Amino acid sequence: MTQPVLTIRKLSIEYKVSGKKISAVREASFDLCKGQTTALIGESGSGKTTLGRALLGLLDGAGIISGGSIRFAGKSENYAKADEKLWRKIRGREISLILQDPQLTLNPLMKIFDQMLETMRLFSQVSRRKAWHRALALLETMKLEQPQKVLQSYPFQLSGGMCQRVVIAISLINKPKILIADEPTTALDAEIQSGILEELNSLRKQQNLSLLLITHDIDVAAKAADRVIVMKSGKILEKGSTQKVIHHPDHPYTKSLLDCRPCNCWGCGFDELSISTSRLIPSKAYHESPDDCLLDVDGLSYDYQVKGFVDTRSVSVLNEVSFYIRSGEVVGIIGSSGSGKSTLARCLLGLLRVSKGRILFKQSRISGLKGRAFRSECRLIQPIFQQARGALNPGRSIRNIIREPLDYHGINCKKDRNRRVAHLARQVGLDSEILDRRPSQISTGQCQRVAIARALVIEPELLICDEPTSALDLSIQAQILNLLLSLKSKLGFGMLFISHDLEVVKAICDRILVTRNGRLYEVPSNG
């Protein structure tokens, strides 16, 4: 084993929440070694992000290190007790950080070059021109195309992958020895994910970096790390070489993590791109719809209006999309981000006005309906969104949230409504005590259950699920998917399941559709 650059011993971190102390990390001890990638795995709330931030002294206001030590090789101080002044001496130079959403990691109002320049000027005097050349060289090593253009761009003008490369370039400007990567690829599309991981890997080798990869994705860890640390509830449960932990896990929790994956063939590089276009059948306009057709979409187009200074351009997002869903059927739609799958969901829910085509729900036309007419016609179509917490009104209790559709449509008397809410809550696996809490007081997984309960409360015939599990940890993902499937078999609703994750779609869908560049293709059943 090579010599450690960072030694953590019995590190404990606490949060003070309204006077009470909540332990976030308990006596964590591990080393980061030169030139090695260490993966820190755990589900959300396991304390892995807190631990990562603590290594840079970046705990936010309420967090404090209550014990233990953080020691950097070659420094005598125990950084667990360091103040801001001391931390500033090593941030950027000894240790650096990259974060989950690269576009949010960069200041939206500053050009990329200015953000690089301010970083270069932190520890040395650099002229603008010199800095420019250095920035160019850095971006080139990050394999960014047209680096000159990138330097002059604002973050919003770059794609997520490009941004993440820029972020990595910036974090390495002052040649730190340690890089903490906190879910560096989670917010990115699958195709880009692996590129970024490869890039990090090669940089690690080139610069002899010590990389701490914080992730909830055990596949990513398995692919990229030399060593793996598994965390749960603030405790390190298991650590060791990747081989050992992934293939011969000691701890039962690690085993359960591995089992949670919907498909066991991890690492086989599955994404929708692997389905070559030649095998796809374009969905036809004016297709023959079956008799028990629940939803019938015919020639649906949606154009997005971009208002310019004077003129208005329109960008086609959906182009002549046609498909149908039988009652009780689960249809999956997959596609990379920007392929129009979310737009399709919004069109079906009446949130966007379709430009062309028609939507039939149980043989009656719903496209073009507005306001209350649409809502009463379509109350049997219910949505479930990705950001469950964001979809819940933070000011209301869970009980009120679930009951709201009943109140709105005036179904049953109040007593019956509350009984129905309680019944549904049980069905989706929510404790009855949760009903009186507010969304901010429950976990993300619970939020998604609440969202499902709310969608099911008026017994819909069609659920439109837009990436319902993407924001969830793997273990919870599986629970939610299982829940949806069991509810489906019990209640018999149809489901349109939108995801970018082929594994998930494959696991639960009867038929799979693929969106690509605004068009819809059908995957032949033998594929």
Partner 1 sequence: MIVLKLLIYRLIRAMVLLWIVSLMIFTLIRLAPGDPVDYILGANDLAIGDTGTIELQKKQVRKNLGLDVTATQQYLNWIKRLALFDLGNSYRSGKSIVSELADRLPATLYLAGAAFLVQVSIALGFGIIASLNEDRWADHLIRLIGVLFVALPSFLLGLILLEIFAIRYPVYDMIGQVSFKRMWLPALTLGVLTSPPVMRLIRVNLIREYSRQYIVFGRSKGLGKKRLVGIHALGNGLLPILSVFGVNLAGLFSGSVIIESIFVLPGIGRYAVESIFARDYPAITGYVLLITFIVILLNLFVGLSYAFIDPRVRNTGYITK
The least distance separating partner 1 from the CB of residue 451, rounded to whole angstroms, comes to 25
Q: 98 or 280, CB closer to partner 1?
A: 98
The least distance separating partner 1 from the CB of residue 304, rounded to whole angstroms, comes to 12
The least distance separating partner 1 from the CB of residue 172, rounded to whole angstroms, comes to 10
Residues near partner 1 (CB under 8 A), total: 43
The least distance separating partner 1 from the CB of residue 308, rounded to whole angstroms, comes to 5
The least distance separating partner 1 from the CB of residue 161, rounded to whole angstroms, comes to 17
The least distance separating partner 1 from the CB of residue 124, rounded to whole angstroms, comes to 12
The sheet carrying 519-522 orders its strands as: 281-282, 519-522, 511-516, 330-334, 494-499, 462-466, 381-384
Q: 155 or 405, CB closer to partner 1?
A: 155
**Looking at this protein, which amino acid is placed at residue 262?**
P
List binders of partner 1 among 78-117 (CB under 8 A): 84, 88, 91-93, 95-101, 104-111
Rg (CA), the chain: 25
In the DSSP assignment, the letter for residue 30 is E
Q: 157 or 441, CB closer to partner 1?
A: 157
**Looking at this protein, which amino acid is placed at residue 298?**
D
Asked if residues 54 and 13 have their Cβ atoms less than 8 Å apart, the reply is: yes
The least distance separating partner 1 from the CB of residue 111, rounded to whole angstroms, comes to 8
Of 4, 58, 287, 328, the one binding partner 1 (CB under 8 A) is 58
Q: 161 or 350, CB closer to partner 1?
A: 161
For position 19 contacting partner 1 by CB under 8 A, the verdict is no
Element (H, E) at 105: helix 102-105
For position 373 contacting partner 1 by CB under 8 A, the verdict is no
- Written as one string, the DSSP assignment of 133-198 is HHHHHHHHHTT-SSHHHHHTS-GGGS-HHHHHHHHHHHHTTT--SEEEEESTTTTS-HHHHHHHHH
Q: 185 or 477, CB closer to partner 1?
A: 185
For position 281 contacting partner 1 by CB under 8 A, the verdict is no
Of 53, 71, 399, 519, the one binding partner 1 (CB under 8 A) is 53
Q: 108 or 410, CB closer to partner 1?
A: 108
Paired strand residues for 179 = 96, 211
| Cα 249 to Cα 429: distance, rounded to the nearest angstrom | 29
For position 74 contacting partner 1 by CB under 8 A, the verdict is no
Strand 330-334 and strand 494-499: pairing?
parallel
For position 371 contacting partner 1 by CB under 8 A, the verdict is no
**3-class secondary-structure state, position 19:** coil
Token pair for 34: 């030169």
The least distance separating partner 1 from the CB of residue 254, rounded to whole angstroms, comes to 29
CA 397, 398, 400, 404 torsion-angle sign: positive
**C-alpha torsion 381→384→390→394, nearest 10:** 70
List binders of partner 1 among 292-331 (CB under 8 A): 306-310
Q: 79 or 493, CB closer to partner 1?
A: 79
Of 170, 496, 504, 520, the one binding partner 1 (CB under 8 A) is 170
For position 228 contacting partner 1 by CB under 8 A, the verdict is no
Q: Residue 348 half-sphere exposure, CB side, CA atoms within 13 Å? A: 31
For position 334 contacting partner 1 by CB under 8 A, the verdict is no
Of 28, 32, 56, 402, the one binding partner 1 (CB under 8 A) is 56
Quick note: the x/- pattern for partner 1 over 173-202, rule CB under 8 A, is xx-----x----------------------
- Tell me how long the chain is: 527
Let me know the angle formed at the C-alpha of 233 by 256 and 261, rounded to the nearest 5 degrees.
Answer: 25
List binders of partner 1 among 121-140 (CB under 8 A): 122-123
For position 61 contacting partner 1 by CB under 8 A, the verdict is yes
- Written as one string, the DSSP assignment of 215-255 is ES-HHHHHHH-SEEEEEETTEEEEEEEHIIIIIS--SHHHH
Per CB under 8 A, residues contacting partner 1 are 53, 56, 58, 60-61, 84, 88, 91-93, 95-101, 104-111, 118-119, 122-123, 154, 156-157, 167, 170-171, 173-174, 180, 306-310
